[in-house]
Amino acid sequence: MTSEPVSPAVPFERNRWTFSVGTLGRDMVYALVSLYLIVFITEVLNASDTFVWWAGWLILGARLFDAVMDIVMGSIVDNTRSRWGHYKPWITIGAVASAVCTLLLFTDLGLPDTQYVAAFALLYLFWGLTWTMNDIPYWALLPALTLDQKQRERIGALTKIFATIGLFSVVVAIIPVTGALGGDTRAWFLFTAAVVTIMLAGQVVTLVGVREPRLAAEQPKVTLRGLWRVVTGNDQLLWTAVAMVLFMTGYVTTTSFGVYFFKYAYRDEGMYTPFGAVLGIAQLTGFLVFPLFRRRFSRRALYTGATAMVVAGYLVFFFSPMNMIWIGAAGLLLFIGQSFIVVLMLVFLTDCIEYGHWKLRRRNAAVTFALQPFINKVGAALGTQIVSVVVVLSGINSAATPDDVSAEGLLMMKVAMLVLPLILIVAGYLVYRAKYRIDEARYSQIVAELAARGELTDDHR
């Protein structure tokens, strides 16, 4: 776990694989909390409308507060000086602490609504803060491994493959596994314990396996005033963040409605698992073929094509009959296109580190890359809040059976699941086209100028 330059004994491929493996369990935990905590509350605990209403707003507030704390955590990581480097101490502390908080979130505390709301608020806030301790340094480690755009894309694609396996293993397994275990709170706790164990094992692989090169000269510690300048002075970072928040809000909103759609609209909750498997395969396929398409097309062309696929997928889904052939085809379009956009936005964000270094004359990788989890949390917060409000207003939460949900309630869910996300994702693409300026040629020029200024080390080559 020492921070040392990459040498021939520690090749790029080792860093690439050991870093990527760490996302497997992390994304299992994140999927469990971001997609299924609200399902656990409404379908397993059978919480009242009042509790669901307040829980939704508490989740929104906690995530937005935690998203702001991401930036602060980024500065803490950048200011960290240890024998293990900037990142690994916080990755370790955050992994263990967030594992404990995740287990507590999926535990029936046996409290009355009023007390449970207060306890839930504190637990969720602690979960967000401890997750931040792990999330910020983990993702900041990626751009610290190389300055080469192609290598970053290779790491990003492999990372997202493992992340997708983790995410969709939860999507596919959670209903049948918890059902086989009894479907009660104990079953969900056991499932959560297994997921948390996998996360901790993956983090050990990253901590032991990754060797961090020294890409740039050591930077002075960032102050609060400097922190503000790092974020607001990087215009490309801010526009990337806007585009990503719009995309992630749309994406999380759609996926969070999955269980409700198949239970109340499709009327066969059992089909959620095979549908999730199809989407997982689609997303994995997208990550696997991304490097092949990248050899022939520019990033801008790939983003345009991927957005067109996503738009087509939403339109097919909205107008399709309740038939798995049509719904499955829509899912393939949506998630193959989405996989390309996820990788592209990840590398857009990494390139903003060098842009900020070039423009502001200081390198703050963790602060800059803190925008990634910030974006994910804001998107997840808004998406979850949309779901919690809609399941109450549509009558879904209070419905004893699918037959008790009105046609108007189902239409409300369908619009929130498919129309609103489509608008948000297209808006994110338009922001990117209008404002993002770091293409391949511009990035090469930025790195060359940083090297000429003596602000990079020999390890960056």
Span 422-441, average pLDDT: 94
C-beta separation of 269 from 183 below 8 A:
no
> What distance, in Å, lies between the first and last C-alpha atoms of the chain?
23
Question: Sign of the CA dihedral 73, 92, 25, 53?
Answer: negative
The whole-number pLDDT of residue 341 equals: 94
Residue 229 has pLDDT above 80, yes or no: no
The whole-number pLDDT of residue 459 equals: 52
Residue 461 has pLDDT above 80, yes or no: no
pLDDT in tens, 215-224: 555 555 666 6
Residue 254 has pLDDT above 60, yes or no: yes
| The length of the chain, given as a count of residues | 461
The whole-number pLDDT of residue 189 equals: 95
Q: Which residues of 225-243 are buried (b: 16+ CB within 10 A; e: fewer)?
A: ebbeebbeebebbebbbbb
Question: At a CB cut-off of 8 Å and minimum separation 6, what does 218 contact?
Answer: none
Residue 206 has pLDDT above 70, yes or no: yes
The whole-number pLDDT of residue 142 equals: 83
Span 100-112, average pLDDT: 87
The whole-number pLDDT of residue 5 equals: 42
| Residue 27 one-letter amino acid | D
Specify which of 65-69, 96-100, 160-164 reaches the highest per-range mean pLDDT: 96-100
Residue 11 has pLDDT above 80, yes or no: no
Residue 3 has pLDDT above 50, yes or no: no
The whole-number pLDDT of residue 167 equals: 86
Q: What is the mean pLDDT of the chain?
A: 85
Distance CA 456, CA 461 (A): 9
DSSP state of 216: B
Backbone dihedral angles phi then psi of residue 365, each to the nearest 5 degrees: -65, -45
Residue 190 has pLDDT above 50, yes or no: yes
20 closest CA partner among 196, 127, 145: 145
Q: Which residues of 122-134 are buried (b: 16+ CB within 10 A; e: fewer)?
A: ebbbbbbbbbbbb
The whole-number pLDDT of residue 2 equals: 41
Residue 197 has pLDDT above 80, yes or no: yes
Q: Which residue has the higher pLDDT, 3 or 74?
A: 74
Q: Which two tokens stand for residue 461?
A: 């080559």
Residue 151 has pLDDT above 80, yes or no: yes
Backbone dihedral angles phi then psi of residue 22, each to the nearest 5 degrees: -65, -20
Alpha-carbon distances of 5 from 11, 213, 232, rounded to whole Å = 10, 4, 31
The percent of residues above 90 in pLDDT, for the chain, comes to: 38
Residue 348 has pLDDT above 60, yes or no: yes
Span 19-37, average pLDDT: 91
pLDDT in tens, 32-74: 998 888 888 888 887 777 777 777 777 777 777 877 777 788 7
Alpha-carbon distances of 157 from 20, 164, 252, rounded to whole Å = 9, 10, 20
Q: Which two tokens stand for residue 386?
A: 């949309």
CA max distance for the chain:
69
346 closest CA partner among 198, 161, 72: 161
Question: At a CB cut-off of 8 Å and minimum separation 6, what does 206 contact?
Answer: 18, 19, 21, 22, 91, 138, 141
Question: At a CB cut-off of 8 Å and minimum separation 6, what does 405 contact?
Answer: 264, 394, 395, 396, 399
Q: Which residues of 260-271 are buried (b: 16+ CB within 10 A; e: fewer)?
A: bbbbbbbeebeb
Span 351-374, average pLDDT: 80
SS (H, E, C) 397-430: CCCCCHHHCCHHHHHHHHHHHHHHHHHHHHHHHH
SS (H, E, C) 112-167: CHHHHHHHHHHHHHHHHHHHHHHHHHHHHHCCCCCCCHHHHHHHHHHHHHHHHHHH
Q: Which domains, from first to last, does the chain contain?
A: 12-213+222-450 (1.20.1250.20)
C-beta separation of 279 from 331 below 8 A:
yes
SS3 (DSSP) at 232: helix
455 closest CA partner among 234, 214, 238, 228: 214
Residue 292 has pLDDT above 60, yes or no: yes
The whole-number pLDDT of residue 4 equals: 42
| Residue 11 one-letter amino acid | P
Least confident of 32-36, 72-76, 92-96, 133-137: 72-76
Distance CA 333, CA 8 (A): 42
SS3 (DSSP) at 202: helix
Confidence class of residue 225 from pLDDT cuts 50, 70 and 90? low
Q: Which residue has the higher pLDDT, 229 or 347?
A: 347
Span 264-280, average pLDDT: 85
Q: Which residue has the higher pLDDT, 456 or 124?
A: 124
Distance CA 309, CA 434 (A): 20
- Single pTM value for the model: 0.70
Q: Which two tokens stand for residue 438?
A: 């770091």
